[in-house]
Structure 1
Amino acid sequence: MSSIDPRHSIFPEWLRKALDGLYLAAGWLAGIFLIAIFLIMLSLSAGRPLGIDVPAGDDFTAWCMAATAFLGLAHTFRSAELIRMGLLIDRISGLPRKMIEIACTAIGAAAVSYFAWYAIEMTLFSWRFNDVSMGVIAVPLWIPQFGMSAGLTILAIAFVDELIHLLFGGAPRYEKPKAESPDEIIERVMESGV
């Protein structure tokens, strides 16, 4: 395995920009759905005292919440913000650590790809059979399911991207570099909300 600069990619620059743009766009979409949750919940709360009913507001909130959660995963993973348990692997270094990182990323890629495959299959099934929600407003179920399918697919792409990066000798991009000063440790703890 040859070592490459961890800041660079083995992919052509246009592909690297496209992949990073995809992860960022998914993160922005997750943010937009989060704002939609806020607006719907605000409408539900403000409408009750005024006697205004928002039809299927709870359903739309739940669907936006699912879209927010799944679409935000790839961006969170690539931004090194996904929760990671490093208790064991932080004590290992060198080639054994590299092999464990590759194995864990391969397992993660396989698991996420499996879930993405079945989420896509479920969405296509709902689309083919014209399944609709049972709420006040009949919404074709493939529409809210699409957020989950898209989010899992983008996360699977991010895992495969990272696996290829690791296989070609790159350093893991899903973990932040070690803090170099006590001030940096405090800053990271404050950012995490602990």
Structure 2
Amino acid sequence: MSTANARHSIFPEWLRQTLDGLYLVSGWLAGLFLIAIFVIMLSLSAGRPIGLDVPAGDDFASWCMAATAFLGLAHTFRSGELIRMGLFIDRFSGVVRKVIEIACAAIGAAAMLYFAWYAVDMVWTSWKFNDISQGVIPVPLWIPQLGMAVGVVVLAIAFVDELLHLLFGGVPRYEKPAPKSEEEMIERIMESGA
């Protein structure tokens, strides 16, 4: 954590480390589900020529894909890699930019809290009514829905964390600092795949 961010931290150090750890674990889980997709797809592709059938492989791969997408959101957001509309906000500086950043974080937090509420409700409802998948292998639907719900809840926590950080005078942590040299700019462009 930079000196400027440490100075404006509203949370005790143990809570800050716990939240950052939560975002990192969520990112790691997204990576594990990505590996699971690879293994399932490889099994499906390699199994066909030798007569090996992976029952409901497509279902499991799609559930893993949803878990990968949602579990990776908070880590991506905190790493400054989530797509954001900088063309508008980069035109401002000072207090106006700070107010816009806070407004954007507040809108994002409200949207994610709303989405998280209904994602958790969907999982709860599926569990309560014992909804079962319609595929070859019957799976309780709350299990694959859990990846999405957990990912959205962690993203909502990240947005609220960032909103509180901004409200108490911190600088946006989801934004990478401007490159200091031409080489650093080229390196960032190469990392982004653009």
TM-score interval (norm. to shorter): over 0.9
- Matched to 1:41, the amino acid is M
3-state SS, counterpart of residue 25 of structure 1: helix
| Equivalent residue, structure 1, for 2:175 | 175
The one-letter code matched in structure 2 to 1:171 is V
Distance, in Å, in 2 between the alignment partners of 1:76 and 1:24 is 9
In the alignment, what sits opposite 2:86? 86
Which residue of the partner structure matches residue 136 of structure 1?
A: 136
Q: TM-score by structure 1 length?
A: 0.97
SS in 2 for 1:87: helix
CA distance in 2 between counterparts of 1:119 and 1:6 reads: 32
State the alpha-carbon separation in 2 of the partners of residues 10 and 113 from structure 1. Answer: 21
Deviation at 1:10, TM superposition (A): 1.4
Shift of 1:181: 1.0
- State the match for 2:165 in structure 1: 165
Q: 1:15-34 to 2 correspondence within 5 Å?
A: 15-34=15-34
- Distance in 1 between the 2:161 and 2:34 partners? 27
CA shift at 1:6, angstroms?
2.0
How many Å separate the matches in 1 of 2:85 and 2:181? 22
Residues 22-171 of structure 1 aligned to structure 2 (within 5 Å): 22-171=22-171
Alignment TM-score, normalising by the size of structure 2: 0.97
Distance in 2 separating the partners of 1:107 and 1:30: 25
Q: How far has the Cα of 1:7 moved from its partner?
A: 4.1
Instruction: Give the distance between the partners of 2:50 and 2:166, measured in 1 at CA.
Output: 57
Across the two proteins, how many residue pairs are aligned to each other?
Answer: 191
Distance (whole Å) between structure 1 residues aligned to residue 6 and residue 38 of structure 2: 37
**How many Å separate the matches in 2 of 1:97 and 1:163?**
14
User: Structure 2: how far apart are the matches of 1:180 and 1:17?
Assistant: 28
2:10 aligned with 1:6, yes or no? no
Tell me, which stretches of 5 or more residues in structure 1 are unaligned?
none
Root-mean-square deviation over aligned CA pairs: 0.9
Q: Where does structure 1 differ by over 4 angstroms across 4 or more consecutive aligned residues? A: none
SS in 1 for 2:5: coil
Q: Work out the CA distance in 2 between the residues paired with 1:13 and 1:98.
A: 25
Residues 1:80 and 1:7: Cα distance change in structure 2 (over 3 Å): farther
SS in 1 for 2:29: helix
- Cα deviation for residue 129 of structure 1 reads 0.3
